[in-house]
Amino acid sequence: MTLSMLRYTKLPAQYPCAIKSGVTTVAPSAFIVATVLLESMQALACRSISHQHCVLSHIYSCTPLKANISRRMDYFWRRRAIDNTGLVNSLRENGTITTSRVAEVMEQIDRGLFVPAGVGDPYFDTPAPIGYNATISAPHMHAACLELLKDHLQPGMRALDIGSGSGYLTAIFALLVGETGRAVGVEHISELTEKSVENVQKCNAAHLLTSDSLSLHTGDGRKGYPDLAPYDAIHVGAAAPTIPPALIEQLKPGGRMVIPVGDVFQDLVVIDKDMQGEVKQWDYTQVRYVPLTDRQMQLEKEQ
Ligand code: SAH
C-alpha cells in the first residue's frame, strides 16, 4: 500500500527531494500522505541519512503538516536536542559525524548563536531561515561537509566558504585551520555578511576574527576570493547550475572542493585536484540547497 501510494503521488523514487510538491499537489489528506511517506521511507531504506533528512525537511517545511507530523518525525530519526552538545551527540549516534575532530569542533561553535531568535529550534536538525531568502544549512549537511573536508582543514591550511550566510561554517573552518591558517567567507548579501560578523564575535572563534585568520567578505562567490587563493578546502553553501571555473582555479593542488550542483535536483559534488593539477569529481549524495545566484534573483524569489 505504501509503495502504491508513492506511485500515486508520482514521486520519482530516485529524487526524494521532490516530495514536498508531491505532498502539496496530490495529497487527499496531507497528514495521511506524510505518514505514508514516512513509513515508505522506512520500508525503502532511503540511500543515505542525508537523503532521509532531505525528504523529511521538506515534509516538515510544509506549514500545515508541521503540527501533525513533528512527533512522528522525532520518533523516526531525530531526537530534539536540548543544547549544542545534544545536537552533536545525535549526529554522532546517527552516523553523520564519524570523527572526534569534527564532533569536537562542532561542539565548540554553538549553533544557537547563528540562528536568529524566533525562527525555530537551533538544536533541531533542520535548516533555519536567516533572512533574505537564505537559510543556515541543516546541521547534518554541515557535519557531512566537514567530514568530507576535514583532511583539508588542518592547522595552517586555507579554507574558502562561499555563501557564508550566518558565518557558522566559516567559524568552524577557522577553528580547524587555527591562527596559522586562514578561513575566508564570501557572501553576496551585505546585510548577511554584517550579521555574520556579529554572530562570529559572540562565538568561540571571535579571537580569530581579530587576528585576521578569519575574514568575512561581501562579494559574488562565483568568482571565489582570488586575493587569498589558492585554498586547500573550498565549501560552497548554495547550489550552482554548473561548477564556477574560478573556484576550480582557486583550488590548491591536493585540495578538495565540496559544492552542490543542479537546479531542482542537486548533487553534492566532491572535486579533488591532484598534485599535478588534474581534477576528478564524484557525487556524494543528493541534496537541496538555495541557489548560487545574484542578489536580485535571490531577493525576488518567492518565499
Ligand atoms: N552556509 C551558510 C549559508 C547557506 S545558504 C550557513 O549555513 O549559514 C546559502 C548562502 O549563499 C546564502 O546566504 C546566500 O545569500 C548565499 N549566496 C547565494 N548566491 C551567492 C553568490 N553568488 N555569492 C555569494 N553568496 C551567495
pLDDT per position as a tens digit, 22-45: 222 223 333 334 444 444 444 444
Which residue among 115, 135, 137, 188 has the greatest number of ligand 1 atoms within 8 angstroms of its CB, and so is best to mutate?
A: 188
Ligand 1 touching residue 292 (CB < 6 A):
yes
Q: State in Å: Cα 292 to ligand 1 middle.
A: 7
Nearest to 257 by CA among 178, 161, 188: 161
Q: State in Å: Cα 263 to ligand 1 middle.
A: 15
- Report the distance separating Cα 203 and Cα 201, nearest Å: 6
Q: Are 194 and 223 in contact (CB under 8 A)?
A: no
What pLDDT, on a 0 to 100 scale, did the predictor assign at position 86? 97
Nearest CA owner, ligand 1 atom 13 = 165
Which residue among 164, 168, 258 has the greatest number of ligand 1 atoms within 8 angstroms of its CB, and so is best to mutate?
A: 164
Q: State in Å: Cα 189 to ligand 1 middle.
A: 8
- Report the distance separating Cα 36 and Cα 211, nearest Å: 53
What pLDDT, on a 0 to 100 scale, did the predictor assign at position 46? 40
Ligand 1 touching residue 196 (CB < 6 A):
no
pLDDT tens sequence for the chain (303 residues): 333 333 323 333 333 333 333 222 223 333 334 444 444 444 444 444 455 555 555 544 443 344 334 434 443 455 578 899 999 999 999 999 999 999 999 999 999 999 999 999 999 999 999 999 999 999 999 999 999 999 999 999 999 999 999 999 999 999 999 999 999 999 999 999 999 999 999 999 999 999 989 999 999 999 999 999 999 999 999 999 999 999 999 999 999 999 999 999 999 999 999 999 999 999 999 999 999 999 999 999 754
Ligand 1 touching residue 136 (CB < 6 A):
yes
Q: State in Å: Cα 239 to ligand 1 middle.
A: 9
Which ligand 1 atom sits nearest the alpha carbon of residue 189?
A: 15
Nearest CA owner, ligand 1 atom 11 = 163
Which residue among 189, 194, 259 has the greatest number of ligand 1 atoms within 8 angstroms of its CB, and so is best to mutate?
A: 189
What pLDDT, on a 0 to 100 scale, did the predictor assign at position 20? 31
Ligand 1 touching residue 141 (CB < 6 A):
no
Ligand 1 touching residue 192 (CB < 6 A):
yes
Nearest CA owner, ligand 1 atom 6 = 136
- Report the distance separating Cα 32 and Cα 247, nearest Å: 45
Domain ranges of the chain: 79-300
What pLDDT, on a 0 to 100 scale, did the predictor assign at position 29? 37
Q: Among all residues, which ones are annotated catalytic?
A: 137
Q: Has domain 79-300 been given CATH number 3.40.50.150?
A: yes
Ligand 1 touching residue 111 (CB < 6 A):
no
Q: Are 164 and 142 in contact (CB under 8 A)?
A: no
- Report the distance separating Cα 219 and Cα 257, nearest Å: 19
What's the sign of the alpha-carbon dihedral 179, 182, 183, 186? positive
Nearest CA owner, ligand 1 atom 3 = 165
- Strands (E) in the chain, as ranges, are 128-131, 134-136, 158-162, 182-187, 214-218, 231-236, 251-262, 266-273, 279-287
Q: State in Å: Cα 187 to ligand 1 middle.
A: 6
Phi and psi (nearest 5°) for 262? Answer: 135, -175
What pLDDT, on a 0 to 100 scale, did the predictor assign at position 79? 59
